[in-house]
Amino acid sequence: MNNREFGYFGEAAAAEYLIKKGYKIAERNYYATGGEIDVVAYNDKTLAFCEVKTRYNGSSLRFGRPAAAVDHRKQNAVSAAAKQYLFDHPTKLAPRIDVIEIIVSTHEDINGKLWYFIDEINHIENAVMTSRSTRFGTKDKRYI
């Protein structure tokens, strides 16, 4: 599994997790100028823009938790994409930006086939607070 496929695996796991929590999936891999959102999900009150970070359990965690990879540059890109999404899809739901960490382990069976197992899913709600320059809404009506 290459890195792109591994990322899609994590995004699918995150979408399934959100569905089990009562969310509906509005979009997967929403692209906008300046950024991309892995999963856009909503429930009756909230519109969640989710950045999904998937890592292998073990040696890759020595560099920190997956959420640590959502640096300032990535936060700005997700914020910009979320702002564009709200412009294209007006809503009364309260928007927020979340990070979902997916920790995966592998196991090779006796036939040499590699199996992937999800060890942990950590959903960090409101993980990204937007800066003043990228707030959603107008001066008089801020969403975040």
- pLDDT tens track for 7-17: 899 999 999 99
Q: What is the dihedral of CA 102, 35, 3, 66, to 10 degrees?
A: -30
pLDDT of residue 144: 43
- Kind of pairing, strands 114-128 and 94-108? antiparallel
Query: Which has the closest alpha carbon to 124: 31, 10, 48?
Result: 48
pLDDT in tens, 31-44: 998 889 999 999 99
pTM to 2 decimal places = 0.85
- Sorted by where each starts, the structural domains of the chain and their CATH numbers stand as 3-134 (3.40.1350.10)
Residue 63: the pLDDT is 79
Looking up tokens 């910009």, which residue turns up? 80
- The SS3 call for residue 77 is helix
Cβ neighbors of 57 (< 8 A, separation 6 or more) are 103, 104, 105, 119, 120
- pLDDT on residue 80: 93
Block residue for tokens 């997916």: 102
Q: What local confidence, expressed as pLDDT, does residue 98 receive? A: 96
> Tokens 């999900």 sit at which residue?
41
By the 8 A CB rule, do 84 and 33 touch? Answer: yes
Q: Which residues of the chain have pLDDT under 70?
A: 130-144
Q: What pLDDT shows up at residue 143? A: 46
